[in-house]
Chain A
Amino acid sequence: MSGGVDSSVAAALLVEEGHDVIGVTMKTFCYTGTGDHGKTCCGLDGIADARRVAVGLGIPHYVFDVEADFTRDVIDDFVAEYARGRTPNPCVRCNSFTKFQDLLRRGRALGCDAIASGHYVRMDRSGPEPALLRGLDRRKDQSYFLWGLPRDMLPLLHFPLGSLTKAEVRERARALSLATAEKPESQEICFVPTGDYRDLLRTRLGSTHPALEPGPVVDRTGSILGEHPGYAGFTVGQRKGFGGGFSEPMFVLEIQPDTRTVVVGTREELFSDALEVREVSWLTDPPPEGTTVRVQLRYRAADVPAVVTGCGETLDLRLQEEVAAVTPGQSAVVFADERVLGGGRIMDARRNAPRSVLQS
């Protein structure tokens, strides 16, 4: 329970259904000294909100200090990925490790036999094995974040909000007079209280780390177009930050950490049709080569059709339609219709088809 409306309603629905529910807030990050106790979901205000809701529902509530685990699995990885010139997705890491695995380990000690959360995803238990499906409210669907769950955890997971819309959830919250009914959505990265992740990188890496030092901005031919203040401030597809003077808008195509180089190009040069995915994890049996699947390459992006061209430790995908700004570090999540099959981290994106084909 983050103290937000989603997990509050999820808890209320479970209580209504007659489950024996224990509320838990995971303290992932220490806000002491940041001067910001309320802005994000797991700050002190979030804990107080969650506790108030739990007391209102008549359920116990505990705060688990998972700061050490969260720092290791999420924050350290976040920093290391930016240092490698990639764009990490910490929410995926948190869902893969902290939110479910660490919680279950602790929950088991309290005698719990299942984990529930306020994610907008569904569990279909009609088949021989539980299937993780997209949330019915596609604008809120959070399945993109959950591909890294261990497959054997699926039978233990419950997502009471998966078939509801956000509007319905808010309505439920009001009907239950939940303290958090009107709480705004949290969007920012919870462990970046300043809102600028580069502040965190400076603290963790030191301001003289190569990722935070100036380097060249070049085009695909290698011509130097200018200088940037540190490649960790850039992400593939980003348009801002190069000043003017170009005949058409310029986008970040690639980050080369070894030489601190940021490669830029036109929008047309951003498109890829093949990608390599590593740290692959499956919630089903892996799809054999040649299978046509759908793949989502960014949170809130539409999925696109793709063919599995290699599936082992590395997953290779050929996209059936070209996609702009495929970003190393983000997740590639593989679906069969609504069902999450698995996913991994994007390592590399390529353009195999000749330029003319893509342009056509």
Chain B
Amino acid sequence: MSSLYFDHAATTPLRDEVRAAMEPCLHGNFGNPSSIHRWGREAAAALDGARARVAEALGATPGEIFFVRGGTESDNLAVLGRTRRLVVDGHPPRVVVSSVEHKAVLAAADAALHGSDGVPATLRVGVDGSVDHDALADVLARGPCVVSVMWVNNETGMILPVPEIAARVSGSGSTFHTDAVQAVGKIPVRVDQVPVDLLTVTGHKIYGPRGTGVLFVRTGVEVAPLVHGGGQERGLRPGTEDVAGAVGMAEALQLAVLEQEAERTRLAALRDGLESRLGTLVPGLRVNAGDAPRAPHISSLGIPDVDGGILLGALDLEGVGASGGSACDSGAAKASHVLTALYGQADPLAALRLSLGRATTEADVDRAAQVVARVVERIRSGGVDR
């Protein structure tokens, strides 16, 4: 049985270079960066170095980079922490999110408004990747709020018009956060070119270690911490720092940014090849958000006349690792809120997300397309209805 990992949008394996960069921090350089002795000093230096490298990769200054424990935490800190800060300053809590955000942002937005009368406002995103700018202008006119719009959608690969939105929010008195978890390393992400206030990155989507993340906080933007303790990360994320994680994250990010342009071209060609093969082999196939600008690594497919959960199981049995809609905590396939937002509640097509990565080759794409076609055909002939 072949082994074809097509789930790089879910997570990626650790790169050898990243492992090598982390290694010293796991053994010799193990100190606590807050300690005044040599061990502490060396650990602090490693952490400072990692911060500087992350800042450089994103076009930020080191003081704007905060290490946190993953993308979800970073999103929460941005949306919830920034809203709490606005409330401390005497503003009512107001949050605006796009209709295709990750659950981390949606849930943080709900939490930010918990106890108030309001609910998060939603900016509708079209299948072409467009955002309702008039609705945004309306919201901004009503006073300070936190706007969170992801840069690249994790289920469809759709690129959202973050530079335009950032420009509109900038100077309006509101705050703009973008979840760039799926964007870094795939498209250019520079905070010195796009005026975002807050930006989220995670390590494990770019061949870095799991449980590492960064929140970029533009100088002058204040965020309330969600975790309380010592003064680490300038009080925004207390807790003894994961130095090895930060170093690994920095190495992974720097490599991802360095290779972004070449990898984007390569992956886009592979993805286009995959979609054109599948378009021929699988009758009725729809490429989700196919007309929107897209990041190169994600292909989201709508397939008629199959059960999504069965499809993923059947693909696994054939050695193909893929995703459907967002997985619920039980592991059963559930309808995706993103595809529902784009195609409506009654969309009869099963969702299949194939996401490509560094190791994906043209031969892999060929084989995956053939396996998908064969499995879909078998399910259809088996008469499994949805």
Q: B228 on the interface (CB 8 Å rule)?
A: no
A60-112 at interface with B (beta carbon < 8 Å) = 60, 62-65, 105-106, 108-111
Given contacts A60-B317, A109-B384, contact A27 B332 (CB under 8 A): yes
Interface: A294 (CB within 8 A): no
A60-B317, A62-B313, A65-B309 known; A51 and B331 CB under 8 Å?
yes
Say which residue of B306, B317, B332, B378 sits within 8 Å of A63 (CB atoms).
B332
Interface of chain A, main secondary structure:
mixed
Chain B residues with CB below 8 A from A108, complex form? 382-384
- Chain A neighbourhood of B223, CB < 8 A: none
Inter-subunit contact B332/A65 (CB<8 Å):
yes
- A44-B329, A110-B317, A111-B317 given as contacts; is B334 within 8 A of A65 (CB)? yes
A108 and B314 alpha carbons, distance in the complex (Å)? 10
Contact yes or no, B307 A109, CB < 8 A: yes
> Which residue of chain A is the closest to B333 with respect to CB atoms?
A65
> B384–A106 contact, CB under 8 A?
yes
Q: Are A110 and B313 in contact (CB under 8 A)?
A: yes
Give the shortest distance, in Å, between A83 (CB) and chain B (any CB): 29
Closest to B379 in A: A109
In the complex, what residues of B have CB within 8 A of residue A146's CB? none
Chain A residues with Cβ below 8 Å from B382 are 105, 108-109
B300-315 vs A: 1/0 string, CB under 8 Å?
0000001101101110
Question: With a CB–CB cut-off of 8 A, which chain A residues contact B333?
Answer: 65
Interface size class of A (residues with CB under 8 A): 10 to 19
**Does B193 interact with chain A (Cβ within 8 Å)?**
no
**Which residues of A have CB within 8 Å of B116?**
none
A69 to chain B, nearest CB (A): 11
Given that A47-B330, A47-B331 are known contacts, is A111 also in contact with B314, CB under 8 Å in the complex?
A: yes
Bound-state CA distance A131–B332 (Å) is 34
Picked from B330, B334, B379, the residue with its CB within 8 Å of the CB of A44 is B330
Chain B residues contacting A27 (CB-CB under 8 Å) are 330, 332
A-side contacts of B332, CB under 8 Å = 27, 63-65
Query: Is A164 in contact with chain B by the CB < 8 A criterion?
Result: no
Q: How far is the CA of A51 from the CA of B330 in the complex (A)?
A: 10
Q: How far is the CA of A62 from the CA of B311 in the complex (A)?
A: 11
Question: Residue of A at shortest CB range from B312?
Answer: A62
Is A22 located at the chain interface by the 8 A CB criterion?
yes
A32 to B251, CA, bound (A): 39
Q: Which residues of the partner chain B approach A65 to less than 8 Å between Cβ atoms?
A: 309, 332-334
Interface centre among A27, A44, A106, A109, by most B CB within 10 Å?
A109
Given the interface pairs A106-B384, A108-B382, A108-B384, the reply to whether A62 lies near B330 with Cβ below 8 Å is: no
**Chain A min CB distance to B345 (Å):** 14
- Cβ–Cβ < 8 Å partners of A111 in chain B: 314, 317, 378
Task: Please name the residue on chain A nearest to B314 by beta carbon.
Answer: A110
A105 to B379, CA, bound (A): 10
**A256 CA to B222 CA in the complex, in Å?**
69
Chain A neighbourhood of B309, CB < 8 A: 62-65, 106
**Mask of B339-380 contacts with A, CB within 8 angstroms, 1/0:** 000000000000000000000000000000000000000110
Residues of B within 8 A of A63 (CB): 309, 330-332
Checking A44, A47, A51, A109 against B314 with a beta-carbon cut-off of 8 angstroms, the contacting residue is A109
With A60-B316, A60-B317: A109-B330 Cβ-Cβ less than 8 Å: no
User: A27 vs B314: C-alpha distance in the bound complex, in angstroms?
Assistant: 18
Contact B330 A105 (CB under 8 A): no
Tell me the complex Cα distance, A91–B332, Å. 22
With the chains together, A65 CA to B325 CA distance in Å? 13
B168-193 vs A, Cβ < 8 Å mask (1 yes, 0 no): 00000000000000000000000000
C-alpha gap A106/B115 in the complex (Å): 44
Q: Which of B120-161 contact A (CB under 8 A)?
A: none
- Alpha-carbon separation in the docked complex, A65 to B384 (Å): 14
- The distance in angstroms between the C-alpha atoms of A128 and B360, with both chains bound, is 53
Q: Which residues in A have their C-beta under 8 angstroms from that of B334? A: 65
Residue of A at shortest CB range from B311? A109
Residues of chain A contacted by B310 (CB below 8 angstroms): 64, 106, 109-110
Residues of B close to A22: CB separation below 8 A: 313, 317
The 9 nearest A-B residue pairs measured at CB: A65-B332, A63-B332, A62-B313, A109-B379, A63-B331, A109-B382, A109-B384, A108-B382, A109-B310
- B interface residue numbers (CB < 8 A to A): 306-307, 309-310, 312-314, 316-317, 329-334, 378-379, 382-384
Q: Could you jot down 10 A-B contacts, CB within 8 Å?
A: A44-B329, A60-B313, A60-B317, A62-B316, A62-B331, A63-B331, A64-B310, A65-B334, A108-B384, A109-B310
List 4 other contacts, CB 8 Å, given A27-B330, A63-B330, A64-B309. A62-B312, A65-B332, A65-B334, A105-B384
